């Protein structure tokens, strides 16, 4: 739509907008449909700032630097100083909104904005008629004019204390709104702010959704609560349709609807939604970018390349292109900014490193994997090699999985600490299978220790003296995605992917019997109890069983306690898997696992081993039901299969773990069982109800792609480090 005097505020001349003050705001309420939105202008516009705009307008020129310097810090304004050369008076409000939008870009986006014509970021809220002021509000809320950025370890303390989420979780209604963040804003704005806060910081989705629903009741004429809640609502389609009913010209709503339709494989509807967005805003490049992404995913090269060309030609025409010297200056500034680089340390090419590389690349971080042996014989060589690599590569972050690539005496981490580089060690297995008394110094110089299971975190921090936190596993959408062919269908009723690892059980038991023979009976008793179908495993079991054998569990060294737990968990996991699979013998279950299975299942039930990187996705797609039986080492969390199966478009039926509901909603996004009888019933039910199975799979895939990819996990690491 054209941007002119009449479209800013109905019935008011642009000069009224330049001279906005509180009386004028109240006078405008009678003429504007969304009075809650117009009232927010009082928060957005600094009344002392408005006259200075008008004064500059008298000279008929206003640079973006001059405008944004009133709102943003010096670093941001310096980055924007070369963007835009001069604007007509009537574009002042449009320019203000451009400046608001600019604060959403991270530094690399800003540096490329004009220097490299990065079109991904051009989406302007002022094009969202009929509610221009809804667009202002959106940028006000997400642009953090007064709201602190949600980064760094102390961010939550500055907006309500460490117990913010606990307090928010006790919300019962609108009367509580506004008490915790102490913001001088309307109830409507406060509800939206808190919902955005929780959504943007990986908080409780249900609480965020509840806050957005409260906002809908407070101001039913605004489409923003519906638009924001689409990211957390169980059914995003309905809330997006309601947003478009209120404001059918919302580009953001059409784009988000297209995203949901694409995730649900409704390609035709996705293209229709993108076409609507493009028709509303022909100067906006983002609909073409999204359409090109879909075409590229469908491997239609000519189609997506032509869409990219169209996106390039649709850049906003009201912005004068920078002169060549300005472009060179911008590119020079970009070169001065540090590049985002991560160095991955490894002692082998483990499969998870492929996922981490893809995760960091999606965040526009450069990655490099360096192989270092773990031992004491090669410390000087490794130390010198790493020092040279640091000087040449200049990483901002070094990441090790399960201590891979670190030497036993800690030379490598000491060198990285001396160089002032953040080092993170992420444990994706039981950390105490790797950490013992004499090798804790391996990680003593780490910046942060992460663990895939929250139950280990407290002891991990206590045993190492290093800050520890929880970070679950994720999935890689580049490797796990639905089949392209519409004729592709499941071949098997139910498949279980997993090993028994009986050889490992024998080795662990033999070593414990050799070193601490009095503890073998404790292991046997614990395994027997865990194998009973109704028992819920927890570590208190060992204390009880030890007492019955006359063993003082509390006085055993922590390392020895963990060793007993590890041997028991490995043995009991194998017994649990054997039992659950045997229960489904009548369902012709197929198994993908190690050769140990041959002695326990019928011929023809054991499938050929598959390559995790290439073949596992196809297995998940060929099964009507993908069964997950968690290892007991997962004391609270979930394994990677919880995310991989939905990402691949498959249906998942899993045993219940303590943290499962934090990631997927039982019976709506994943099938869940708690014992053998329930497992058999659920298998028969879901085999007989194909439509429900498909709906659950689609919901799970949307949730996983929105929250649980390795890009999300790597982004969280970066945020934790501030």
Q: Tally Cβ neighbours within 10 Å of residue 12.
A: 17
DSSP-derived pairing of the beta strands 590-592 and 492-497 = parallel
DSSP conformation class of 51: H
Instruction: Find, among 61, 117, 109, 569, the residue nearest to 363 by Cα.
Output: 109
> In whole angstroms, what is the distance from residue 594 CA to residue 572 CA?
17
pLDDT given for residue 678 in this prediction: 93
Cα–Cα distance measured from residue 418 to residue 410, given in angstroms and rounded to the nearest whole number: 12
Q: Evaluate whether 693 touches 686 at the Cβ level (below 8 Å).
A: yes
pLDDT-wise least confident of 142-151, 209-218, 631-640: 142-151
pLDDT of residue 314: 42
Residues 36-64 have pLDDT tens digits of 232 233 333 332 333 443 343 333 333 33
Closest by CA to 188, choosing from 239, 224, 227, 164, is: 224
Among the residue ranges 251-255, 309-313, 317-321, 514-518, the one predicted with the least confidence is 317-321
What is the pLDDT averaged over residues 614-624? 90
Average pLDDT, stretch 107-114?
Answer: 32
CB-based contacts of 420: which residues, under 8 Å, 6+ apart?
none
Report d(CA 189, CA 140) in Å as an integer.
10
pLDDT tens-digit profile of 275-299?
787 777 665 656 766 676 676 666 5
The per-residue pLDDT for 704 is 93
DSSP line for 96-114: HHHHHHHTTS-HHHHHHTT
pLDDT beyond 80 at 233: yes
Spell out the residues 6+ positions from residue 276 whose beta carbon is closer than 8 angstroms to its own.
254
339: DSSP letter = P
| pLDDT (0 to 100) of residue 398 | 92
pLDDT tens-place string over residues 163-218: 333 333 333 222 222 332 333 235 666 677 677 666 655 556 778 888 888 878 77
How many angstroms from the chain centroid is the CA of residue 470? 14
Per-residue pLDDT, averaged over 472-488, amounts to 81
Q: Give me the residues paired with residue 653 across strands.
A: 627, 671
C-alpha span between 517 and 540 (Å, rounded): 21
Q: What does R_g of the chain's alpha carbons equal in angstroms?
A: 29
Taking CA 86 as the corner, what is the angle to CA 84 and CA 88, rounded to the nearest 5 degrees? Answer: 125
Neighbours of 185 (CB within 10 A): 20
Distance CA 244, CA 250 (A): 7
Residue range 490-538, pLDDT digits in tens: 889 999 999 999 999 999 999 998 988 899 999 998 888 887 655 566 6
Calpha distance 602→611 (Å, rounded): 23
pLDDT at 199: 64
Q: Which residues contact 185 (CB under 8 A, 6 or more apart)?
A: 40, 43, 178, 193
Q: Tokens 């009507």 map to which residue?
A: 624
Name residues whose C-beta falls within 8 Å of residue 60's C-beta, 6 or more positions apart in sequence. 88, 89
d(CA 467, CA 450): 9
The superfamily in CATH containing domain 492-714 is Glycogen Phosphorylase B; (3.40.50.2000)
Domain extents in the chain: 339-471, 492-714
- pTM beyond 0.85: no
- Give residue 302's pLDDT: 52
pLDDT, residue 231, reads 79
The answer, yes or no, to whether residue 652 has pLDDT greater than 60, is yes
Strand 623-628 versus strand 652-655 pairing type: parallel
Name the range with the highest mean pLDDT among 71-80, 203-212, 530-539, 697-706: 697-706
Domains 339-471 and 492-714 share a fold: yes
Query: The tokens 């941007």 sit on which residue?
Result: 3
SS3 446: coil
Q: Of residues 240 and 27, which shows the higher confidence score?
A: 240
Whether 654 and 682 have beta carbons less than 8 Å apart is answered as: no
Please give the C-alpha separations between residue 676 and each of 395, 673, 681, in angstroms, as whole numbers. Answer: 50, 8, 9
CA dist., res. 190 & res. 41, Å (int): 15
Q: What is the mean pLDDT of residues 687-699?
A: 93
- Quick one: DSSP state of residue 538? -
Query: Is the Cβ–Cβ distance between 160 and 180 less than 8 Å?
Result: yes
pLDDT of residue 611: 80
Kind and range of the H or E run holding 711: helix 710-720
**pLDDT exceeds cutoff 50 at 23:** no
**Largest distance between two CA atoms of the chain:** 91
- Whether the pLDDT of residue 447 is over 80: the answer is yes
Phi and psi angles of residue 537, each rounded to the nearest 5 degrees, phi first: -70, 135
Residue whose entry in the numeric block shows the structure tokens 């002021």? 133
Please give the helix or strand (H or E) that residue 370 lies within, else none.
strand 366-371
Q: For 622-634, what is the mean pLDDT?
A: 92
Stretch 545-570: mean pLDDT, rounded? 88
Contacts for 335 with CB less than 8 Å, ≥ 6 apart: none
What pLDDT is recorded for position 154? Answer: 31
Q: Could you give the residue ranges of the DSSP H alpha helices within 499-539?
A: 502-515, 520-531
CATH of 339-471, one of 3.40.50.720, 3.40.50.2000, 3.40.190.10, 3.40.50.300: 3.40.50.2000
Separation of alpha carbons 443 and 424, rounded Å = 9
Asked if 636 and 657 touch (Cβ cutoff 8 Å), the reply is yes
What confidence score (pLDDT) does residue 125 get?
30
Kindly state the average pLDDT of the residues 12-25. 31
Q: Is the pLDDT of residue 337 over 50?
A: no
Q: Which residue has the tokens 């970009």?
A: 334
What is the spatial distance between Cα 45 and Cα 28, in angstroms, rounded to a whole number? 15
Residue 399's pLDDT band (cuts 50, 70, 90)? very high
**Confidence at residue 12, expressed as pLDDT on a 0 to 100 scale:** 31
How do 341-346 and 590-592 pair as beta strands?
unpaired
Check: CB of residue 648 under 8 Å from CB of residue 620: yes
Average pLDDT over residues 372-395: 64
Q: Residue 499: which of 396, 588, 570 has the closest Cα? A: 570
Mean pLDDT estimate for the chain: 68
């Amino acid at each position: 739509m054209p941007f002119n005097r009449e479209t800013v505020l109905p019935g008011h001349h642009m000069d009224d907008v330049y001279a906005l003050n509180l009386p004028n705001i109240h006078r405008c309420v009678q003429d504007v449909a969304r009075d809650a939105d117009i009232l927010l202008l009082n928060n957005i516009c600094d009344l002392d700032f408005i006259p200075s705009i008008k004064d500059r307008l008298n000279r008929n020129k206003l640079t973006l630097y001059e405008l944004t310097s009133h709102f943003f810090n010096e670093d941001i304004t310096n980055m924007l100083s070369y963007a835009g050369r001069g604007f007509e008076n009537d574009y002042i409000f449009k320019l203000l909104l451009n400046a608001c939008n600019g604060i959403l870009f991270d530094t690399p986006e800003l540096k490329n904005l004009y220097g490299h014509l990065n079109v991904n970021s051009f989406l302007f809220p002022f094009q969202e008629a009929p509610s221009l002021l809804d667009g202002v509000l959106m940028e006000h809320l997400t642009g953090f004019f007064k709201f602190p950025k949600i980064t760094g370890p102390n961010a939550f303390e500055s907006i309500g204390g460490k117990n913010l989420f606990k307090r928010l979780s006790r919300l019962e209604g609108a009367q509580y709104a506004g008490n915790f963040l102490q913001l001088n804003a309307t109830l409507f704005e406060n509800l939206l702010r808190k919902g955005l806060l929780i959504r943007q910081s990986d908080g409780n989705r249900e609480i965020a959704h509840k806050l957005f629903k409260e906002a809908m009741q407070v101001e039913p004429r605004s489409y923003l609560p519906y638009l924001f809640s689409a990211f957390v609502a169980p059914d995003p389609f309905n809330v997006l349709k309601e947003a478009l009913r209120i404001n059918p010209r919302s580009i953001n709503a059409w784009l988000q609807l297209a995203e949901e339709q694409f995730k649900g494989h409704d390609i035709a509807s996705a293209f229709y939604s993108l076409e609507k967005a493009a028709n509303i805003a022909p100067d906006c490049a983002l609909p073409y970018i999204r359409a090109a992404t879909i075409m590229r995913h469908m491997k239609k090269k000519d189609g997506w390349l032509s869409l990219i060309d169209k996106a390039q030609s649709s850049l906003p025409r009201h912005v004068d292109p920078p002169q060549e010297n300005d472009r060179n200056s911008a590119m020079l500034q970009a070169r001065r900014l540090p590049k985002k680089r991560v160095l991955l340390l490894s002692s082998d090419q483990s499969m998870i490193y492929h996922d981490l590389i893809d995760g960091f690349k999606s965040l526009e971080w450069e990655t490099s994997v360096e192989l270092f042996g773990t031992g004491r014989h090669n410390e000087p060589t490794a130390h010198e090699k790493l020092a040279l690599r640091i000087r040449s590569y200049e990483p901002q972050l070094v990441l090790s999985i399960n201590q891979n690539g670190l030497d036993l005496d800690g030379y490598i981490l000491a060198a990285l600490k001396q160089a002032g580089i953040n080092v993170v060690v992420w444990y994706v297995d039981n950390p105490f299978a790797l950490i013992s008394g004499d090798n804790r110094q391996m990680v003593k110089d780490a910046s942060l220790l992460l663990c895939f299971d929250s139950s280990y975190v407290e002891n991990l921090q206590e045993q190492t003296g290093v800050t520890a936190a929880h970070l679950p596993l994720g999935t890689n959408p580049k490797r796990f995605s639905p089949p392209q062919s519409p004729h592709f269908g499941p071949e098997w009723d139910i498949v279980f992917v997993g090993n028994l690892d009986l050889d490992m059980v024998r080795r662990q038991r033999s070593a414990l019997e050799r070193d601490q023979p009095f503890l073998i009976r404790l292991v046997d008793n614990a395994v027997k109890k865990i194998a009973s179908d109704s028992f819920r495993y927890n570590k208190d079991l060992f204390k009880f069983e030890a007492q019955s054998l006359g063993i003082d569990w509390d006085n055993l060294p922590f390392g020895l306690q963990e060793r007993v737990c590890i041997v028991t968990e490995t043995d009991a996991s194998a017994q649990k898997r054997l039992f659950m699979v045997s229960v489904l013998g009548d369902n012709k279950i197929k198994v993908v696992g190690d050769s140990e299975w041959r002695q326990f299942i019928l011929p023809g039930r054991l499938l050929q081993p598959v390559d995790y990187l290439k073949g596992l996705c196809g297995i998940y797609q060929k099964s009507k039901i993908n069964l997950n039986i968690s290892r007991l080492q997962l004391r609270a969390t979930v394994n990677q299969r919880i995310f991989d199966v939905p990402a691949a478009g498959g249906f998942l039926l899993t045993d219940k773990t303590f943290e499962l509901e934090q990631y997927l909603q039982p019976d709506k996004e994943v099938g869940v069982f708690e014992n053998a009888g329930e497992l058999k019933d659920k298998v028969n039910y879901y085999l007989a109800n194909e439509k429900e199975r498909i709906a659950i799979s689609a919901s799970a895939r949307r949730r996983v792609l929105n929250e649980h990819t390795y890009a999300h996990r790597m982004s969280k690491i970066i945020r934790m480090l501030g």
